[in-house]
């Protein structure tokens, strides 16, 4: 508190009137932000429907619904069992993380490398029709971002496994490692 008072005294002496001016601008900004956000069709919920990392990074409220449909572990396992020939599971994490452990049968396509590796990925998986992307867990957004890129590339029906690799491990499923 003493340092704040000191800073206020310094500002008042060095820049007369700047403290009340700053407070006035701050207050006006808050009012404008609340009004603008409330009136904007893309505004987000400020106090209700808060961000919920436990449900995945995309779940803040209705306005922030996932861009790509998410699936749970049961649906992923069902797809892996039933659609082996047409399904490709894509790991959006870094190559190092992939090597240290990944979902069995998954293919590494780190989001950072997507722009470079996408053509060879598409050439190698031209038979695939369904693509499920995952990243490290519910709090990462790489899977959604990579799924966006894959959807734009076309040819796939794209889903995101929202709980990611940590959800796979928590579900006590087998892990493969050491292969790119």
Partner 1 sequence: MKALFANPWVHLLSRWIAGGVFIYAAVYKIYDPCDFARAINGYKILPAVFINPLAALLPWMEIFCGILVIQGRFSRGAALLLACMLLTFMTAIGFNLIRGVEFECGCFGAQRDICDAIARSLISVRGEVFNHVRTGCDLVRDALILVPVIFVIFFKSERRVPSVKTGPDR
Torsion angle (degrees, nearest 10) of CA 86, 92, 97, 102: -20
66 CB contacts (<8 Å, ≥6 apart)? 56, 58, 59, 144, 160, 162
Using the rule CB under 8 A, is 37 a contact of partner 1? yes
Taking phi first (over 0 means left), then psi (-120 to 50 degrees means alpha), and beta for anything else, what does residue 157 get?
A: beta
Interaction pattern, residues 134-163, with partner 1; x per rule: CB under 8 A: -----xxx----------------------
With CB under 8 A as the contact rule, the residue among 6, 7, 34, 170 that binds partner 1 is 34
The three-class DSSP label of residue 86 is: coil
Strand boundaries in the chain, DSSP class E: 70-71, 87-91, 107-108, 130-134, 157-161
Closest CA to 148 of 177, 106, 111, 179: 111
> Which is closer to partner 1, CB of 87 or CB of 133?
133
With CB under 8 A as the contact rule, the residue among 1, 2, 3, 42 that binds partner 1 is 42
Using the rule CB under 8 A, is 46 a contact of partner 1? yes
> Which is closer to partner 1, CB of 87 or CB of 163?
163
First to last CA, the chain: 55
**Which stretch in 49-57, 81-89, 123-131, 170-178 sits in contact with partner 1 by CB under 8 A?**
49-57
Neighbours of 162 (CB within 10 A): 25
User: Residue 81 CB, nearest distance to partner 1 (Å)?
Assistant: 32
Using the rule CB under 8 A, is 63 a contact of partner 1? yes
| Residues near partner 1, by CB under 8 A | 15, 18, 21-26, 28-30, 32-34, 36-37, 40, 42-47, 50-53, 57-58, 60-61, 63-64, 94-96, 110, 112-113, 115, 139-141
């Amino acid at each position: 508190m003493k340092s704040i008072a000191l800073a206020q005294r310094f500002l008042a002496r060095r820049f007369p009137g700047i403290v009340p001016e700053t407070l006035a601008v701050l207050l006006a900004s808050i009012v404008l932000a609340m009004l603008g956000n409330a009136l904007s069709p893309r505004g987000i919920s400020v106090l209700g429907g808060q961000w919920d990392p436990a449900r995945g990074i995309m779940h803040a409220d209705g306005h922030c619904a996932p861009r790509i449909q998410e699936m749970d572990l049961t649906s992923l396992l069902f797809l892996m069992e039933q659609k082996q020939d047409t399904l490709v599971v894509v790991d959006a994490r870094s190559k190092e993380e992939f090597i240290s452990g990944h979902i069995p049968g998954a293919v590494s396509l780190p989001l950072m490398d997507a722009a470079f590796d996408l053509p060879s990925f598409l050439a190698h998986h031209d038979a695939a029709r369904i693509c499920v992307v995952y990243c490290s867990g519910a709090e990462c957004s790489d899977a959604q971002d990579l799924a966006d890129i894959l959807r734009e590339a076309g040819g796939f029906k794209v889903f995101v496994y929202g709980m990611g690799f940590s959800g796979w491990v928590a579900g006590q499923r087998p892990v493969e490692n050491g292969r790119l």
